[in-house]
Amino acid sequence: MAADTVKSKAEPDYVVIDSGKTSLRDLYTKEDWMAVWMGFVLLIVGLLIYLPNPPEKAAEIPKYNTVMKEEAAKAPFKTIEWHNASSSKRGVRARDQEFGKTIQAFLAAPSDWSSNPLDAVYRSKEAADALSAPFKEAADKAKAAEDTALAAAKAAQSAAAAASFKDPALNSTAEKAIKGWQEAKEKASKAKGKASVKPFNRVPYLIGLCILLAVFFGIGKAIMGNSFGKFVVGFPAVFLLAVLAYMAETQALMKYWGFGFPLWAIVFGLLISNTVGTPKWIMPAVCTEYFIKTGLVLLGAEILFNKILAIGKPGIFLAWICTPITLVLTYWVGQKIIKMPSKTLNITISADMSVCGVSAAIATAAACKAKKEELTLAIGLSMVFTAICMVAQPAFAKLVNMPEVLAGAWMGATIDSTGAVAAAGAFLGQKALYVAATIKMIQNVLIGVVAFCVAVYWCAKVECKPGVSVSWWEIWYRFPKFVVGFIVASIVFSIIDQSVGKDMSSVMIDHGVLRGFTRIAREWFFALAFTCIGLETNFKEFGPYFKGGKPITLYVFGQSFQLAFTLVIGYIMFYIVFPEITAAI
Amino acid sequence: MIVKETCTLPAAGGDLAPPAALNPWLRLLVGIALILFFIFGIGSLAQYIPGARHMAQVIEERHLRATAIYYTDFEEPAEGSERIRDSLDYTPDGKP
């Protein structure tokens, strides 16, 4: 371990440093490998559930594409028929089938609530009706406005068509009328959602999920030689805290601030461990690494490399050129100028700040074997700065009248949290929202590469004595093995994603296996992992990391550089080099 | 050769808690009270901060999940990228 690393006396390392020897037994006795097998089992189950069962509407997709192609050739703007075809295509989702809905209901986290926490897990029919009632009138009005806007759009389009789409003034009028209809349709859709609140009772599902997860992970523990019984006894307490963390996230006021379940899971865990102490009977189920690595293997399947082409070359430049430059520069400044107390803390904060917040922090911290306090600190910093940036950046963009595409691209590449990016984009408008969310999605995919590179760099360089060359075998011994599962999952799912084609990939992989099953499971595993981090952490361990405010200095430097650098590159890419893409969006 | 380090869980049953100046259960209650104050007290300040109020409205109206940590955690990245893909694949080019 590097001499300048902050060492904890009371706590073990967050991630185990592997033995210099390896054997076949490691495949079923080490948590790294067990996480890989557990993750693979779930991914295979997900594929077996969804791939053989495409929705019937999937057969209509070529028809929708033909309509869009014909309409695109006919008019110089997106016609009503073009929009309807695109919308119908997006509505085809494997997870919307009955079996998909059942799986999602079983795995669902607690719902939104405002003053009574029980509302998060149980809503009677009367309560659902009461929640819907105030919005019914607004929904009817929004629907009427949509119908009016559609009639106006049809009239304007007919006028433009009558002139064979050769009159620029009529075309412009039609385009504006269609845009107005799209906005009215969006509002009507959201209003309808609010006016159709459904009753639910999540308690039986949560109990069932707790039992299922206890048995699933308990079997893994038993194979590794630990007690199944002790794990199963302690697990419900960890699960309960994870449920409470979700409930804190979904509280009406907290969801506006962007404080998600990872932060709350750590807070609730810390509250227990630093007051009454974590009871002994819970400790066999406090398995941070086990949960987090299994979750990361599942996350690997969500790293689909085809996504990086979603917005063409400008997106690649912004998310895959600017971001790594910011990451490397921030780490270098952290080491050479700020002199961070720990290399692992430095890289975790650098990745978290430059890539995509919590998810990047988790993957990087696990890859470089950071301590749990370091991961916690990085996540805390990220959430505080995210809360600031998600309000300040769109306000600034509005103040300077920044074009929506540029603002969306800028915010998508610089605000840490993926969800906050969408909120910031929505602050400015629909186009900014979709560009911001898409850029963030491309940037999300980068965490696979970052985690792999950090793992290799740490094994080959950081953990070595200066001047001593390391053999490939040594690197393999030290390499965090779950990263192998993480990368394999990413490659396999990227290949499947590519082989089924863009449209079917969206229907079967993105809106099927991932969003309909493994994504929800992954989120639960992370919630359990963060709860465990809190349960085995002492407040005092954070003290040395705050010395001199270095983590904050590092974060502020990196974020400031990224804000300026990305804005300049975004402008060059979207308005000078590829203006035709900006115009098409 | 790398020295083997094993990860042993810290002793539980209160070992993680710092020496008690207050009764541990009292400290737990104080902690819970502080969290509730944060959620319902500090949290409500959003409506008094310029910009934050509008942001809260946007999140509410669109039912956005601002806490999502990955693009698969909410709908907007999928919807946005699919819309953009259609726009780029089927760009209207009917010349006026």
- ipTM at complex level: 0.87
- Is the residue at A266 inside a domain? no
Across residues A68-88, what is the average pLDDT? 95
Distance CA B2, CA B44 (A): 52
Can you tell me the distance from the alpha carbon of A103 to that of A14, in angstroms, rounded to the nearest whole number?
33
| pLDDT value for B13 | 41
User: What is the amino acid identity at position A294?
Assistant: T
Residue-wise pLDDT tens digits, A360-387:
999 999 999 899 889 999 999 998 899 8
Q: Is residue B43 part of a domain?
A: no
Q: Give a yes or no: residue B54 inside a domain.
A: yes
Contacts with B64 from chain A: Cβ below 8 Å:
419, 422-423, 426
Rounded to whole angstroms, the Cα distance separating A450 from A324 reads 8
CA distance A490 to A544: 37
User: Is the per-residue pLDDT at A148 higher than 50?
Assistant: yes
Q: Is the pLDDT assigned to residue A302 strictly greater than 80?
A: yes
Instruction: Spell out, as residue ranges, where chain B has pLDDT lower than 70.
Output: 1-21, 94-96
Q: Which residues of B touch A581 (CB under 8 A)?
A: 88
pLDDT at A2: 40
Amino acid identity for residue A574 in this structure: F
Residues 6+ apart with CB under 8 A from A411: A393, A394, A397, A421, A424, A425, A432, A436
Q: Do B44 and A253 touch (CB under 8 A)?
A: yes
Per-residue model confidence (pLDDT) at position B3? 34
Q: DSSP assignment of chain B, as one string?
A: -PPP----PPP-TTTTSPPPSS-HHHHHHHHHHHHHHIIIIIGGGGGGSTTHHHHHHHHHHHT--TT--SGGGSSHHHHHHHHHHHHHHT------
Mean pLDDT of the region A453-470: 82
Which of chain A's residues have a Cβ under 8 Å away from the Cβ of B82?
Answer: 86, 89-90, 506
Model confidence at A574: pLDDT above 80: yes
pLDDT at A180: 95
Is A176 domain-assigned?
A: yes
Q: Given this model, what pLDDT does residue A21 score?
A: 65
- Domain end, chosen from A147, A180, A198, is at A198
In a domain, B58, yes or no: yes
Closest CB to A478: pick one of B2, B7, B44. B2
Q: What's the pLDDT score for residue B94?
A: 65
pLDDT band at A23 (very low <50, low <70, confident <90, very high): confident
Residue-number span of the structural domain to which B67 is assigned: 50-89
A573: containing domain: 308-500+549-584
Residue A337 has pLDDT above 60, yes or no: yes
Q: Is residue A318 part of a domain?
A: yes
Query: Among residues 27-46 of chain B, which lie with CB inside 8 Å of chain A?
Result: 27-28, 31-32, 35, 39-40, 43-44, 46
Give me the pLDDT at residue A257, please: 80
Q: Single out the residue in A198, A215, A248 at which a domain terminates.
A: A198
Residues B81, A307: C-beta atoms closer than 8 Å: yes
Q: Residues of B numbered 59-88 whose beta carbons fall under 8 angstroms of chain A's beta carbons: which are they?
A: 59-74, 76-88
**The residue to which tokens 């921030």 are assigned:** A330
Q: Is residue A65 included in any domain, yes or no?
A: no
Residue B76, domain member (yes or no): yes
C-alpha–C-alpha distance, residues A464 and A416, integer Å: 32
Domain count, chain B: 1
HSE (side-chain half, CA atoms, 13 Å) at B20: 13
Q: Would you call A302 and B70 a contact, using CB atoms and an 8 Å cutoff?
A: yes
Residue type, A253: L
Residue A368 and residue A488 in one domain: yes
How many folded domains does chain A comprise? 2
pTM of structure:
0.88
Chains A, B: CB contacts within 8 A come to 289
- In chain A, % of residues over pLDDT 90: 70
